[in-house]
Chains A and B, each alone.
Chain A
Amino acid sequence: MTVETTGDAANDAGIQLPDTLLAAAEALLNRLLALDPEGAARLSAIQGRVLRIELTGFGTRLHVIPTGDGLMLHGSYDAEPDCIVHGTPAALLRMAVSEHREDEVFAGAIRIDGDNGVAQTLGDVLKGLDIDWEEQVSRLTGDALAHRLGVQTGAAGRWARRSGDVLTRDLREYLIEEGRLLPGDDDMRAFLDGVDGLRDDVERLDAKVARLAQRLGAAGPR
């Protein structure tokens, strides 16, 4: 299944990611996938299908083409995508880390055109990667040290997550409540409702002007 796409010129519009960065990210991603060959092999179901990710607001495009056991990343790819995922970077990030990915789609923050199965499979494979970090480290350091490192890293990870959560909460509170640098949830909601209301009013006014102009035209010049 393919979806409509625009020509070459549109591919270069917006902020595009540098090719060197994509090549580096591709190499890194494939190295990670190689650590769980069984998981990565599930990509063969969508091998050679073209998934396009469009970052709303930036015009940035990323094409992901699964190979048998890895991924290719390209800024442009001159084939009609099987699936296009549109979303803001924040919404895509939320979807990537969320337990219930469909929430973002239902909330309207993410739009998927074409064969949803491609995006779904890719997400499942990346999420389901089972990488034994301890095993990877033990190749360099030996089992005993790797195990101790694993335990320490686990504890450090939990601490970092906890501290990170606290820090994020504190920072958010400071920026909104203390510094008044960012709007709070209620302010933001009121502002967005106001924008929506204004947009509706303008549309109504526009329609009214059009109707009056039409009536004036029908009456003819006097």
Chain B
Amino acid sequence: MSDDKTTHFGYQEVPVAEKQQRVRAVFDSVATRYDLMTDLMSMGVHRLWKRRTVELAGVRRGQRVLDLAAGTGDLAEKFARIVGPDGEVVMTDINEAMLNEGRARLVNAGVVGNMDYALANAEKLPFDDNSFDCVTIGFGLRNVTHKQFALNEMYRVLRPGGRALVLEFSHPVSQPLSRAYDLYSFTMLPIMGRFVAGDADSYRYLAESIRMHPDQETLLSMMEQAGFERASYVNLTGGIVAIHRGYKL
């Protein structure tokens, strides 16, 4: 853990105040090519990771769902199609370029009527206590400066009985996989970033930020610290990704 004055930005230590701006610059740079790059980087497997998240969220008709750091809105779109006109999905992102990209995509896909958008910092959510049945954050938590604040906020806005899910890159559980994965992320990713999105540095940051993100057990204890009960996690693709889930009871 870093002290109060500096925090991680990938492998670099940067002043806390600067991290948010630098993360914003990364996502401003990748916003328009984000979906294509995600497909390339994960070789399409991110769709299965998101499907599993939807399964564990178990959202149903009429519920109110908050999707944080929603990016281009893959999860939010699925939830909106499930909750129907009686429910509501609020899609938020701290980055305006990403949120606009997501909104344009969803409107084009015909997802309207039960979808709201908010430019919001996950550390300080502009929503009432106990106002959502489900809160999700998919591939967003590692970019948040103070992760514990974000988890606390997720707990605060959940209704009793509600559940929160964190879908995030994590730490591979086996050594050989870990080595292959390192090789892939530090050589292939920046190359793909340069050719497809014209920006190798942003993708190097993504690879580094994944390594600096808390491992499965640490994140689990952070969720418990935030107040979540029956917190647990499942590893996907050998722990490259994990879904943490906790309830507010």
Give chain A's interface residues, CB within 8 Å of chain B: 19-20, 23, 44, 47-50, 65, 67-68, 70, 72, 74-79
For chain B residues 154-182, which have a beta carbon within 8 Å of chain A? none
A68 and B61 contacting across the interface, CB-CB below 8 Å: no
Q: In the assembly, what is the distance between CA of A78 and CA of B63, in Å? A: 14
A79 and B59 contacting across the interface, CB-CB below 8 Å: yes
B51 and A74 contacting across the interface, CB-CB below 8 Å: yes
Q: Does B24 contact A (CB under 8 A)?
A: no
- Which listed residue (A23, A44, A49, A78) contacts B48, Cβ 8 A? A23
A20 and B48 contacting across the interface, CB-CB below 8 Å: yes
Describe B's contact surface by its main secondary structure: helix
Residues A74 and B84 in contact in the complex (CB < 8 Å), given A48-B62, A79-B59: no
> Which chain A residues border B84 with CB–CB below 8 Å?
44, 47-48, 68
For chain B residues 14-71, which have a beta carbon within 8 Å of chain A? 47-48, 51-52, 54-63
Residues A48 and B61 in contact in the complex (CB < 8 Å), given A70-B81, A76-B55, A78-B56: yes
A67 and B54 contacting across the interface, CB-CB below 8 Å: no
Q: In the assembly, what is the distance between CA of A72 and CA of B81, in Å? A: 9
Q: What's the tally of chain B residues with a CB closer than 8 Å to chain A?
A: 21
Q: In the assembly, what is the distance between CA of A47 and CA of B86, in Å? A: 10
Residues A77 and B58 in contact in the complex (CB < 8 Å), given A48-B83, A48-B84, A68-B84: yes
Q: A79 — nearest CB in chain B belongs to which residue? A: B58
Q: In the assembly, what is the distance between CA of A125 and CA of B145, in Å? A: 48
> Which chain B residues border A49 with CB–CB below 8 Å?
60-61
> Which chain B residues border A75 with CB–CB below 8 Å?
55
> Which chain A residues border B47 with CB–CB below 8 Å?
23
Q: In the assembly, what is the distance between CA of A23 and CA of B17, in Å? A: 42
B81 and A67 contacting across the interface, CB-CB below 8 Å: yes
Give the Cβ gap from A4 to chain B, nearest Cβ, in Å.
Answer: 15
B81 and A79 contacting across the interface, CB-CB below 8 Å: no
> Which chain B residues border A44 with CB–CB below 8 Å?
84
Give the Cβ gap from B233 to chain A, nearest Cβ, in Å.
Answer: 13
